[in-house]
Amino acid sequence: MTGSPPLRSTAWFGDSADPTGGGLRAFSHRSRMRQLGYLPEEHLGKPVIAVLNPWSDINPCHMHLRERADQVKRGVWQAGGFPLEFPVSTLSETFQKPTPMLYRNLLAMETEELLRSYPVDGAVLMGGCDKTVPALLMGAASAGLPALVVPSGPMLRGHHRGRTLGSGTDLWGYWDEYRAGRIGECEMAQLEGSLARSPGHCMTMGTASTMTAAAEALGMALPGASSIPAVDSGHQRMAAAAGARVVEMVCEQLTPDQIMTREAFEDAAATVLALGGSTNALIHLVAMAGRLGVPLSLDDFDAIGRRVPVLADVRPVGSALMEDFHYAGGLPALLRQLAEVPGALHPDRPTATGKPFGSYYAEAETHDPKVIRTARDPVAGEGGVAVLRGNLAPGGAVVKHLAASPALLTHTGPAVVFDSYQELRRDIDDPSLGITEDSVLVLRGAGPLGGPGMPEYGMLPIPAYLLERGVQDLVRISDARMSGTSYGTCVLHIAPESQVGGPLALVRSGDPITLDVPRRLLRLDVSDEELARRRAAWQPPEPRFRRGYGALYAEHVSQADQGCDFDFLAGPGTDPMPDPS
Ligand code: FES
Ligand code: MG
């Protein structure tokens, strides 16, 4: 590529101007490229673009990506690049246990090491299912090569008996109806086939929709890319355009650190909050920022949330689904409304398109003002997430107060403690526990180490006998996460977690607990002396892992407020590339 900086892949293949040069190693690499069936002129001197593909038979959110990679490659070829597809591990939210969160850092490491160890000049990062986009962006940030996300796109709306259905959100609702005896097995069998009916990630504002939108708001995906339904032909065109753009990014040497700045993370946080997005975003964005040395804390989210209104009327906070959101104008339309809030966005910062962020939304139009609201007519006047502190959460805790019951946002009640999710599942319907609508359900042992992997247990079930009486919500607190599609007065991410001796470990059933969201407070109403006595008697639980990846994870993972990254991966900078000669 004349006039462009030297390509990293030249170190493997030799200089295209001297096709016999580069010594024995380069000759050997070129001969293997011939074995792969490529002519010298097809790849020599061209930017090599890795297409990272987390397709798998077990991942319905990525089931279309095998074909979609072909469209990415089409774009790479047309722009004068050379695409190479790399399968990467799949994080399938529904199927992988105990939770794909345990493996987010593994995919981040895989991403970084693939990009470092192969002859690659830039990357397209495909994916959408929950932890996938954070993992890919964390790895790409640490690898330091130009990269662009191709979000996998939401699935189509669910349909059941004339109603539209949203992933997760409606599943939980119908399940509670079933447990309360209000719907039968026949209808549940029908629901099984109608909730999720196309390729693509969850089409509520769950973690997938939240994090793909965050990637776009960071400037790491093309404008409008994140909401395109997975099966829409526009998704194919976006994939081809992304493939073409990343070739240009290589020539411009436009690396992630130039795009994912403090201003970009502030805009991503504001976007997530304006979407009424998943609480998981707080963990992932903190971890992603950490990879670039960008300071970002829970307090930033709380501060941004206080000035940013919720503008997307999408479940679980609102009523529409991602397909509706896309037809209403998608993220560009929402950003244009958000930009009306003074100081909410930074329009002049750089993005992967090579144009300033303001170009993502300057011309955008809203086609359905019920789904994408204006700042004057928001879904809610404040961002959906609050950060709590107090003697029960010295490192912080998170509550999605917009998806909670207003009456419970200020509440004091007696704790009913469960030491594990298994114990909770076994005993929750046992009337002898004496759970009432005043109780505060407490789950511990569900954090980054205790869970392990911090599973999405945070929407603790409500006893069937209370559901039958029409009680729909209780204050529930835990060191777990919660699915972005969940709702209820659920305090999450309590840090430090009980497994490492956080104050949550000291709670006993009957202790009064106070939640005061307006004052951002979570307090255990037990004297310091009594807590000191309990701490002296506390025995750390058995470690969850003795070998393998789990043991590595347990030794190095940080707490929720720090993003749950590994200590040896967090922090800016890239390691030198290997010497391919
Ligand atoms: Fe993949 Fe929800 S299961 S995004
Ligand atoms: Mg989820």
Please check the confidence at residue 149 and state whether its pLDDT lies above 70: yes
Q: What is the pLDDT of residues 360-373, one digit of tens each?
A: 999 999 999 999 99
Tokens of 249: 């990014």
Element (H, E) at 373: none
Q: Which ligand has the shortest distance to the CA of 280?
A: 2
Please check the confidence at residue 497 and state whether its pLDDT lies above 90: yes
With cut-offs at 50, 70 and 90, classify the pLDDT of residue 179: confident
Averaged pLDDT for residues 205-224: 98
Nearest atom in ligand 1 to 207's CA: 4
Q: What is the pLDDT of residues 248-285, one digit of tens each?
A: 999 999 999 999 999 999 999 999 999 999 999 999 99
Pocket test for ligand 1, best of 55, 101, 156, 202 (most atoms within 8 A of CB): 202
Task: Determine the pLDDT at residue 18.
Answer: 78
Task: Determine the pLDDT at residue 3.
Answer: 58
Average pLDDT of the chain?
Answer: 95
Higher pLDDT: 277 or 170? It is: 277
CA-nearest residue, atom 1 of ligand 1: 129
Distances (CA, A) of 40 to 13, 18, 37, 517: 10, 11, 10, 64
Averaged pLDDT for residues 78-101: 97
CA-nearest residue, atom 3 of ligand 1: 93
Task: Say if residue 427 is exposed, middle or buried (CB neighbours under 10 Å; 0-12, 13-18, 19+).
Answer: middle
Please check the confidence at residue 570 and state whether its pLDDT lies above 80: yes
Tokens of 164: 């539209």
Task: Determine the pLDDT at residue 382.
Answer: 85
CA 476 to CA 439: how far, in whole Å?
9
Pocket test for ligand 1, best of 55, 95, 129 (most atoms within 8 A of CB): 129
Q: Beta strand pairing status for 386-388 and 163-165?
A: unpaired
Confirm if 459 and 491 have CB atoms less than 8 A apart. Answer: no
Give residue 566 CA to ligand 1 midpoint distance, Å: 24
Q: What is the pLDDT of residues 67-77, one digit of tens each?
A: 999 999 999 99
Give residue 481 CA to ligand 2 midpoint distance, Å: 10
Q: Which ligand has the shortest distance to the CA of 96?
A: 1
Among candidates 193, 238, 200, 169, which has minimal Cα distance to 59? 200
Give residue 87 CA to ligand 1 midpoint distance, Å: 19
Q: What is the pLDDT of residues 460-474, one digit of tens each?
A: 999 999 999 999 999
Give residue 230 CA to ligand 1 midpoint distance, Å: 13
Task: Determine the pLDDT at residue 450.
Answer: 95
Give residue 209 CA to ligand 2 midpoint distance, Å: 10
Q: What is the pLDDT of residues 394-427, one digit of tens each?
A: 999 999 998 899 999 999 999 999 999 999 999 9
CA 326 to CA 205: how far, in whole Å?
12
